Structure 1
Amino acid sequence: MSQHESTVGGGAGGPRRMSILRLQRFVRSSMWLLPVGCLIVGVLLAVATLAVDRATGYGLVPQSVTGTPADAQTILSSFATALVSLTSLVLTVTLVAVQLAMGQFSPRIVGALLADRWSQLAVGLFGASFLVVVLTLREIRGSTSGTVPGLAMLLCYSLMLASLVVLVLFVHHAGQGLRAAGLIDLVGDRSHEFIVREHGDQPVLTGGPDAIVAEEPGNVIRVDRPALVAVAREADCVLELVPVVGDFVVGGAPLFRVHPTTRSTASTAGNPAGRIRASDLTRHVLLASERVHTEDLAYGFRKLVDVAVRSIAQPFNDPTTTVQALHRLHDLLRQIAPRPLLSGEHRDGDGVVRLVERTVSWDGYVRLAFDEIRLAGASEPQVTRKLCAALADLKSVAPPDRQGPLDRQLRLLSSAVRRCYEDEEDVVAALTPDTEGIGSGADVTVAPALGLPPG
């Protein structure tokens, strides 16, 4: 009988199971349960510590530790004021996150944000600390020679420290959660948890016997190539890194392929993957939820292109920002145009290739930098003029074997512009090289006479 059938036909246990599920759903989706629970715990702790202080005649903790009554009142008053501000900060950040998620991503993601436990814990802790401080302030008598509830003061000091720690962690958590990758991971992780809960945590393995698979999903952000070369040398094999640095690898997908060396004989080659433990390779590859710039130049291009394309999309329509992004893309391509790019081969001390990986080619960088902007900005004269100027400059520094991708961009740009304009004068103006879009081209500037003497 299937799991669904056993659940439906559970007999008398069905209503009880549903009641438990309803309770679990209520606990998970309730936004106020955790904060209210923290408030109740705070009141109980305050009442208990104050009762102990009264029972011991307020002498359990000396004033050398807690301070005089005037000192205690000043400290607690300042702490109480700060707690009100901190609670407002948490609620404001949560509201901003909700508005951002609704406007930029999807209204259906709001429920997950409102049920975020970190926000609820921060609000609950700050609220409970405020109640404890207020109740403790009521027990302080006198100014210089009165009584101070020492144990309650220690509790307030502990809550001060806990509040500072939670504030730092909440700011970090909020910053991570407001990122696009953070919101995507929030939904992806919860969906992944459902699959694991229903079907187990065994990933679907692919790649064959020569493959070493990724244990968990993530973007490849760092590769320890010398360590991998050493492992391959010891096992006398060649490692192939399947994803390009920056690629997202799903759990169970091939991360490496293990090949015999060219000098291996048929009798000694066998299956080289069997001579290497998967952990000996995967621990030298760092996966993360988002790409970084550490070893991933293409990621910098990606972000600049995103800014450029988004700036000329509706409702923004800001081609000047696109030109600014093109300035940086132009500069990056100019820096690598005359330089050799990484080959993707890594050798050991004897010159034997032990690790190979795919790398982005010159054509790849040019397409990454210009393809999407060219398609999105063909109707924007600022963008097309800047593209023409950038491509003309890159052609002046690129070696002959790298001219082809630049010529292709110029050809496609000309075709795209001609499809957007019917008047030939508009076409000519849109294809005139201009570093600033419209501002420094030959058709909008005047060159002064040099005034050199004849001869």
Structure 2
Amino acid sequence: MRLTRFLYAVRTSLWLVPLLCVLAGVLIALGTLWLDRRSGYTLVPQSVTGTPSDAQTTLSVFATATASLTSLVLTVTLVVVQLAMGQFSPRIVGALLSDRSSQLAIGLFGATFVVAVLTLREVRGSDTGTVPGLSVVLAHLLMVASLVTLVLFVHHSGQTMRATGLIDLVGDRTRDLIASSFPAAPHAAADPAVVLAREPGSVVRVDRAGLVAAARRADCVLELVPVVGDFVPGGAPLFRVHPGPGRAGDGAGPAARVRPEEVARLVLVGAERVHAEDPPYGLRKLVDVAERSIAQPFDDPTTTLQALHRLHDLLRQLAARPLPPGEHRDEDGVVRLVERRLSWDGYVRLAFDEIRLAGASTPQVTRRLCAALQDLKSVAPPDRQAPLDRQLRLLTAAVHRAYEDEEDVAAALTPDAEGIGSGADVTTAVRLDSITSDAGVRPGARLRG
């Protein structure tokens, strides 16, 4: 039991690995200094290390820099812990403090510091004197390693401070614990008509040309089960294999000819969604910003309007464009790959549903939504009007539930591109008659251009 407690303390402590690294640095520095003394300080010539004065200056800079780097790493670690406690969960702090990457970074900087200080004490003289060449070279190598580690640590900390990084940190450790603590499930016969995902993650890229070629070779049709951007658990269905048009009655033959490893490699699964092939992800992030801005304690509807501006623009770009098909054909025109795609209704709901529900009691948000929906209705073709009409209908109902006074309801449902600032009820009316009269043109006549 004592050994178990000791191992637990080792795994969860922040100080042990850095302390061991510092002790290792002391021992290595003492060993190189002993070798330098035994050789009469001739192992590495001063043409490499510089004069004693040069070596003292360089080692002093190294010691100062590594002390600053150590402080930086500790500060960043504390900031990450504070953010994790405030935004996610206090219970995630243990996983951050036991992160080996941070511990090794602190340990390397500490070891470089002690090597530089111990080596500096051994330098004798100024322009002439003795320089422990091997120890100076060791200090240079450790400093280069520290700079590389600093860059890697900054990258690692940036990844850790993201929600995805923290969630993956806990999820991966728990997954490993399940694999080591619970017996494996009984091996069941694999369905040849289903290709399973090899690892968990979000679908970020699909090599459609490669999948069409693979399906053509196997004379089958591949059905991509998840939508691009979906999270796929490890071992979940990634593809379903269907017989090709010429083999409608033979379901086993094409499935047997498909190589699951080859097909699975043509789908890239990552830790989180990216923009590469996932346009809805951009809308998803804008909606998150908009919804978070009108939630307590932020209460910042202006930021919500800025996000709505961009959502309006994106949907306007999509309104009249044909959406990509979900069928992919080979060079003979035979369908070889089918997948689900987000429809126009899906884009509209993704952009407006959550903001409409969260911002029904905020006049700026409802007025901006009305303006966006009215403008989209003016450019969307007839077959795409229904989703916009649905949003207007639900928005009207939500505003009536939020306000009791009819004047407030009417004001909240007035289209306004700036929330409150450019609607018909807050701006002056444009009078063309006065313009034409001032220009000497008969009122009611058409202006050229």
TM-score class, shorter-chain normalisation, is over 0.9
Displacement after TM superposition at 1:269 (Å): 4.5
Displacement of 1:110 in angstroms is 0.6
The normalised TM-score by structure 2 is 0.95
> Which deviates more from structure 2 when the two are superposed, residues 202-211 or residues 149-158?
202-211
> Percent of counterpart pairs with the same letter?
70
8 Å CA contact 1:136, 1:152 repeated in 2: yes
Instruction: Give the partner amino acid of 2:268.
Output: L
Shift of 1:270: 3.0
Q: Deviations over 1:110-147 (max 9, x none)?
A: 11111111111111111111111011111111221221
Structure 1 Cα separation of the partners of residues 175 and 64 of structure 2: 42
Other-structure match for 1:439: 421
Partner of residue 107 from structure 2, selected from 124, 140, 143: 124
Residue matched to 2:66: 83
Aligned to 1:366: 348
- How big is the shift at 1:439? 1.0
Is 1:392 matched up with 2:405?
no
User: Which amino acid in 2 is paired with 1:439?
Assistant: G
Partner of 2:167: 184
What corresponds to 2:220 in structure 1? 237
Pick closer, same or farther for the CA change 1:204–1:432 going to 2, 3 Å: farther
Question: Which is further off, 416-425 or 75-84?
Answer: 75-84
Query: 1:416 corresponds to which residue?
Result: 398
The equivalent residue for 1:300 is 282
3-state secondary structure, aligned to 1:136: helix
1:421 Cα offset (Å): 0.4
C-alpha RMSD over aligned residues: 1.5
Cα separation, 2, equivalents of 1:108 and 1:242: 35
Deviations 1:15-73 (A, max 9, x none): xxx33322321210111110100110010011111111111111110011111111111
List runs of 5+ in structure 2 lacking aligned partners.
none
1:326 aligns to what? 308
Q: CA deviation at 1:209?
A: 4.0
Q: Spell out the pairing of 1:238-387 with structure 2 (5 A cutoff).
A: 238-264=221-247, 266=249, 268-387=250-369
What corresponds to 1:100 in structure 2? 83
Q: Which amino acid aligns with 1:77?
A: S
The one-letter amino acid paired with 1:399 is P
Q: 1:83 Cα shift?
A: 1.1
1:229–1:347 contact (8 Å) kept in structure 2: yes
Tell me, yes or no, if the aligned pair for 1:101 and 1:110 is still in contact at 8 Å. Answer: yes
2:413 counterpart of 1:425 = no
What is residue 35 of structure 1 aligned with on the other side? 18
Q: 2:47 aligns with which of 61, 64, 69?
A: 64
What is aligned with 1:115?
98
Q: Which residue matches 1:13?
A: none
Change (3 A) 1:286 1:205: farther
Aligned to 1:167: 150
Aligned equivalents of 2:408, 2:5: Cα separation in 1:
66
Q: In the TM superposition, what is the alpha-carbon distance from 1:168 to its structure 2 partner?
A: 0.9
Q: Deviations over 1:246-268 (max 9, x none)?
A: 000001110000000122153x5
User: Matched residue of 2:130: which SS?
Assistant: coil
Q: In the superposition, relative to structure 1, how do residues 160 and 234 fare at CA in structure 2: closer, same or farther (>3 Å)?
A: same
* 1:7 aligned residue: none
